[in-house]
Structure 1
Amino acid sequence: MFSGHEILEIAVNIEVEGEKFYRTISKDIKDSSAKNTFDYLANQEEKHIETFKSLLKRFDEESRELVNWDEATEYLKAMSSHKVFPDADALIEKFRDSTTKEIIEYALDREKDSIIFYYEIIEMIDDRDIKDAVRKIISEEKSHVATLKEFID
C-alpha cells in the first residue's frame, strides 16, 4: 500500500534519476545542440524534484496514513522497482559509446514512460494541490517529448 507521501517519494526518485542521467550525458556528448537540450532537460527535472519535495514538506503525519488502493498498489510497486529512469549510473555506462540518436531515442522512451506513470498516479491522488502539480509536470514532460522528437524527425 502507498500513501500520497510515498507516491511523491517515488516521483522524486524518478526525477532524480532522470536529472542525473541528463546531466551526465550532457557532459559527455559531443553534439553541442544535443548538449544544450540535455542541459535543459536536466534543469527541468531539477525543477520537478523541487516541486515534489515542496509538496512532501506539506504533508503532516496524518496524511501519511496508508490507503488501500488494490491494483494501483501493485502498479506502483512494479513502477517503483523498475523506475521510469533506471539507475542513472548503469544507464550512463550503457550509453557511453552510443550515438547521439540512440541516446535521444532512449530518453524519448523514458519521457513517454514518465507521462504514462504520472497519468496512472494522478487517478490515485485526492489532494488537489498534488494533482495540479502532477498535471503541470505531465505537461512539461510532454514538452520534453516534443523537444527530443525534433532531433530524430
Structure 2
Amino acid sequence: MFSAQDILDIAIRLESNGEKTYRDARQHTADKELKTLLSWIAREEQNHAHWFAGLKDRLVQGKDHHLMAELSRALVEDVVKGQAFSLQEVNFKDIDTPEKMIRTFIEFEDDTISFYEILKSFIDDPSIADQLEQIISEEKKHLETFRELLSER
C-alpha cells in the first residue's frame, strides 16, 4: 500500500515536472501567445507543488496521520500507469509545431486532473478537500485554455 506521503510525493512530482516542462517548452516555440500561457501555467504548477509539499510536511509532523490511509497500492498503480507522460520528460524534438505542443499539454493536464479527482475521493478533511478542489479547478482552467488556443488555430 502506498502511504499518504508516497501519494503526495507523486503529486509533488507531477506538479514539479509540469512546471519544468512548461518552462522548457517556452524555448521550443516562437509563438508569443503560447509562451505567455506556458509561463502562467508554470507559475501555477509551482504553487500547486508548494501546497502539496506543505501538506506532506503536516503529515510528517503527525497532524494528518489518517490522511488517505485507505488508498491502496493497486488503485494508485492503475492511476499512475495512465500518468506516464506526466511523470516523464517531454522530448521536444518530436514536437515540431505549436499545435502538437498544445495537444501534448492537454494530455498532461487531463492526466493530472484524473489523478487528483481520485485522490480527492479519499480525503476526509474538508479544508484539504476544498484546497485540492481549487487546484483541480485551476488544472481544468489550464486544460480549457489550451483547448481554446488549439481551436483558434
Normalising by structure 1, we get a TM-score of: 0.84
Contact 1:108 1:148 in 2 (8 A): yes
Counterpart of 2:98 in structure 1 is 100
Query: Residue 52 of structure 1: CA displacement?
Result: 0.8
Query: Residue 117 of structure 1: CA displacement?
Result: 1.1
Deviations 1:8-63 (A, max 9, x none): 11110111111111010012211111111111111110010111111111112471
CA–CA distance in structure 2, aligned partners of residues 45 and 142 of structure 1: 12
Distance 1:32 1:99, change over 3 A: same
Counterpart of 1:87 in structure 2 is 88
- Cα RMSD (Å): 2.2
Partner amino acid, structure 2, of 1:75: L
Partner amino acid, structure 2, of 1:131: A
Larger helix percent: 1
CA–CA distance in structure 2, aligned partners of residues 137 and 23 of structure 1: 19
Deviations 1:117-139 (A, max 9, x none): 11111112223333222111100
2:21 is aligned with 1:38? no
Normalising by structure 2, we get a TM-score of: 0.84
Between stretches 138-147 and 127-136, larger displacement belongs to 127-136
Q: Percent identity?
A: 29
CA–CA distance in structure 1, aligned partners of residues 68 and 131 of structure 2: 21
CA–CA distance in structure 1, aligned partners of residues 13 and 121 of structure 2: 20
Between stretches 76-85 and 50-59, larger displacement belongs to 76-85
Contact 2:23 2:39 in 1 (8 A): yes
Query: Residue 80 of structure 1: CA displacement?
Result: 3.6
CA–CA distance in structure 1, aligned partners of residues 110 and 81 of structure 2: 18
Counterpart of 2:136 in structure 1 is 138
Contact 1:3 1:64 in 2 (8 A): no
Contact 2:25 2:38 in 1 (8 A): yes
Give unpaired runs (5+ residues) of structure 1. Answer: none
2:46 is aligned with 1:50? no
Give the number of equivalent residue pairs: 148
Give unpaired runs (5+ residues) of structure 2. Answer: none
CA–CA distance in structure 2, aligned partners of residues 12 and 56 of structure 1: 9
2:3 is aligned with 1:3? yes
Counterpart of 1:20 in structure 2 is 20
